[in-house]
Chains A and B, each alone.
Chain A
């Protein structure tokens, strides 16, 4: 029945005359319901990675990753050093230093494999960097104002924007003087990471990928980062946390935990899985991946 309906109605969109009959109107109503249901399904899915193989400097790093992230979810990818965590983040943003060999990355139903990094960013994917770059001579305020303008395509009202910035910096226990300092120049490790979270809040992406944002931070700073994630998170966006330790999971509730070892996701579970890894480490999973 349904495919037939589609066929009929496709015709009636091209030629609106058949709308006159009651039967067609009923069909139209059914189609609308179907369409909206489909839209819900479609729109819930943000990111889909299928069978992704990625090389970095000729070396095979990712060996067939599959991952699906829906709106409203917080995912964690955990794994030992060198397992391919950062490569996954960089591949999603299409960093030219990484080469996709096989597979696809789809965002909101669109294949973004070959999109430029800035296009992907403007689609709504954000990445918090493990080692944020320093930009001398460009203040945090000017940088974010410019980036926000590029993201939204709209002019940014400076006073409102500064207020927004102040509010977030306050929440993140950031020194308000940092607003006028050059981006990341002379920032401590912790200040740089908080600054990444600040950028996430200001740019408000659909999917935020946090690459080792918790690493090297003390307990208080990790709590601040968790708080930033909670402020950001809502039913319409998603977060992918990439980490090699489990500290951040003490102060944050997550939906899915994936264990990445040797370029493959070898196990997916809930927060419980993280606890198990905290106790037993990755040894068991290294064995799985070696098989």
Chain B
């Protein structure tokens, strides 16, 4: 049987487990002593240590969310929050230890850096092991570095923005993040600078029973523009791993930021990530998101349209297989006149997987003349899979255009028969329908990620049809 090229990828690349070797692994659980130890290990300045301890207090006070997927299996006493890999930070792949470098090689990161990226950051467990950016961007004053370096070298910028967009009391896992965060990327694009080629960070969690808590802080100053790509993966272990990262994005007046994510965490991961953007006057924030991995995902990127004429778009797809519960969505607050938001969300579920689209559209009293258009579509590949849409629309002024459209469907036997009458097997037919369904999202992704997404879809569909 002839197979298309896309079928022939090695499904094991995400599952390579390196030996759990580390320089330092913190004791499991959470106490002020553990937080102080992390802080010491990381050479935090005093203000950051205080911040962490305060965040821990908030964490202990807050309750688990009472809605959404059941995450009671998460036992923080079993999760190591800080694992330092056996390497320092380097700006040359040559200096990265072989096993770690091989992992990123297999994920195609150095290759992508050579061909299509302006800069790359790579995080392994809790620390960033590689960071590099093209010369000309450095000359233009663009800063792209790991978060720890930013705390040391750009304290004013960091203090002004760090966990101001996403405050620690937002929810329990943000507080946790504030206490134990490690790694992540810091980007500053100065006024008027347009970064034409994307920057990319790749987060890899190797160590079992641990958490990844990277902090991404991006400031795109007035009139500047940036495309930032984030990729995530981890091998599968039997024990639960936790990802509670935090992404804070500041898109100043007239600036543009596009933030693309392909998340393919292993299917034992609890992905409780928080992402938020504050969007200034006539600025635009675009989110593109592909969510394939994780056992449970609760991820609702948010745009706060603070400046007049601010715009945001969210384009996202979730693909849940058996045992996965992906509770994803988008939140937007219209806080000024003439703001607009456009949402195009899709989900695919199969083999008993569950996808929920949970969203918030809030248009405040002062946001006259604003527009919001939400479309979400779900496709279920069998009778045992579940799909749900839970929108919250809070609209406080009449002078708006608002629409919400939701469609839930299945692949019909008629469609399969039609495609089979054109020479395609049942498997080919289903894959074509699913790829077509996902195509509007794939088109928004960088090319190599679109290819990866197609690969993932093919992988997910292999053996799914009996």
Task: List chain B residues, Cβ under 8 A from A149.
Answer: 2
Instruction: State whether the Cβ of A232 lies closer than 8 Å to any Cβ in chain B.
Output: no
Q: Which of B424, B433, B435 sits near A147, CB closer than 8 Å?
A: B424
- Taking a contact as CB atoms closer than 8 A, the residue among B417, B429, B438 that contacts A96 in the complex is B417
Please indicate which of the listed interface residues B418, B426, B429 has the most CB atoms of chain A within 10 Å of its own CB.
B418
Q: Are B420 and A153 in contact (CB under 8 A)?
A: no
Is B94 engaged at the interface, CB distance under 8 Å to the other chain? Answer: no
Q: Which residue of B lies closest to A155 (CB)?
A: B2
A95 touching B423 by the CB < 8 A rule? Answer: no
The interface residues of chain B lying within 8 Å CB-to-CB of A120 are 421
State the Cβ distance, B8 to closest chain A Cβ, in Å: 14
Cβ contact within 8 Å between A133 and B2 = no
**Is B422 close to A, CB under 8 A?**
yes
**Bitwise interface map of B from 404 to 435 toward A, beta carbon under 8 Å scored 1, else 0:** 00000000111101111111111011001101
Q: How far is the CA of A199 from the CA of B417 in the complex (A)?
A: 15
**A273 interface residue (CB < 8 Å to B):** no
Across the interface, do B418 and A137 meet the contact criterion of CB distance under 8 Å?
A: no
Binds B, one of A2-10, A65-73, A122-130: A122-130
- Are A147 and B436 in contact (CB-based, < 8 A)? no
Contact, CB under 8 Å: B415 / A135:
yes
> Cβ of A137 and Cβ of B422 under 8 Å apart?
no
B439 within 8 A of A: yes
> How many chain B residues touch the partner (CB < 8 A)?
25
Complex contact A129–B435 (CB within 8 A): no
- Tell me if A126 and B436 are in contact (CB < 8 A): no
Interface assignment of B437: CB less than 8 Å from any CB of chain A: yes
Q: Which of B417, B421, B422, B440 contacts A97 (CB 8 A)?
A: B417
> Nearest CB to that of B438 among chain A residues?
A137
Interface size on A, residues (CB 8 A): 29
Q: Are B424 and A118 in contact (CB-based, < 8 A)?
A: yes
> Are A116 and B415 in contact, with the CB atoms below 8 A?
no
A104→B413 CA distance, assembly (Å)? 24
Contact between A150 and B436, CB atoms less than 8 A apart: no
- The answer to whether A146 touches B432, judged by C-beta atoms less than 8 angstroms apart, is yes
Question: When each residue 129-159 of chain A gets 1 if its CB lies under 8 Å from chain B and 0 otherwise, what string results?
Answer: 1001101111000010011011101000000
Closest to B429 in A: A118
Interfacial chain B residues near A151, Cβ < 8 Å: 422-423
- Who on chain B is nearest to A183 by CB? B436
Contact B440 A137 (CB under 8 A): yes
> Which residues of A sit under 8 angstroms from B412, Cβ to Cβ?
133
Chain A residues positioned under 8 Å from B435 (CB to CB): 137-138
Q: Chain A 75-103 against B: per-residue CB contact (8 Å), 1 yes, 0 no? A: 00000000000000000010111000000
Shortest Cβ distance from B2 into A: residue: A153
Q: Which residues of B lie under 8 Å from residue A135 when comparing CB positions?
A: 415, 419, 432-433, 436
Q: In the complex, A150 Cα to B2 Cα: how many Å?
A: 8
Closest to B436 in A: A137
* Complex-state Cα separation, A264 to B37, whole angstroms: 87
Which of A96, A153, A199 contacts B422 (CB under 8 A)?
A199
- Nearest chain B CB to A276 CB, angstrom units: 33
* CB of A225 within 8 Å of the partner chain: no
- Which residues of B are found within 8 Å of A93, using beta-carbon distances? 417, 421
Tell whether A245 is near chain B: CB-to-CB under 8 Å. Answer: no
Q: Which residues in chain A, 2-27, are within 8 Å of chain B measured between CB atoms?
A: none
* A93-B421, A96-B413 known; A118 vs B439 contact (CB < 8 Å): no
Q: Are A118 and B423 in contact (CB under 8 A)?
A: yes
Residues in A with CB closer than 8 Å to B2 are: 149, 153
Specify which of A118, A129, A138 is in contact with B436 (CB 8 Å cutoff).
A138
CB nearest to A123 among chain B residues: B423
Cβ-neighbour of B420 out of A116, A126, A137 (below 8 A): A116
Give 1 or 0 for each of A143-183: 1 = CB within 8 Å of chain B CB.
Answer: 10011011101000000000000000000000000000010
CB of B249, distance to nearest CB on chain A (Å):
29
Is A121's CB within 8 Å of the partner chain B?
A: yes
B417 touches A95 (CB 8 A): yes
Residue of B with least CB distance to A147? B422
Q: Which chain A residue shows the least CB distance to B428?
A: A150
Q: Which of chain B's residues has its CB closest to A122's CB?
A: B423
Which residues does chain A contribute within 8 Å of B423, judged by CB atoms? 118, 121-122, 147, 150-151, 203
Give the complex CA separation of A96 and B414 in angstroms: 10
CB contact between B413 and one of A97, A127, A150 (< 8 Å): that residue: A97
Bitwise, A208-247 to B at CB < 8 A (1) or not (0) is: 0000000000000000000000000000000000000000
27 contacts between A and B (CB under 8 A): A116-B420, A117-B420, A118-B421, A122-B423, A126-B421, A127-B421, A129-B418, A132-B418, A133-B412, A133-B415, A135-B415, A136-B436, A137-B435, A137-B436, A137-B440, A138-B433, A138-B435, A138-B439, A143-B432, A146-B428, A147-B424, A149-B2, A150-B422, A150-B423, A150-B425, A150-B428, A203-B423
Other A-B contacts than A118-B424, A121-B421, A121-B423, 11 sampled, CB-CB below 8 A, are A116-B426, A118-B421, A118-B428, A120-B421, A121-B420, A122-B423, A129-B421, A135-B436, A138-B432, A138-B439, A153-B2
The 7 closest A-B pairs by CB, nearest first: A137-B436, A137-B439, A138-B436, A117-B420, A150-B423, A147-B422, A133-B418
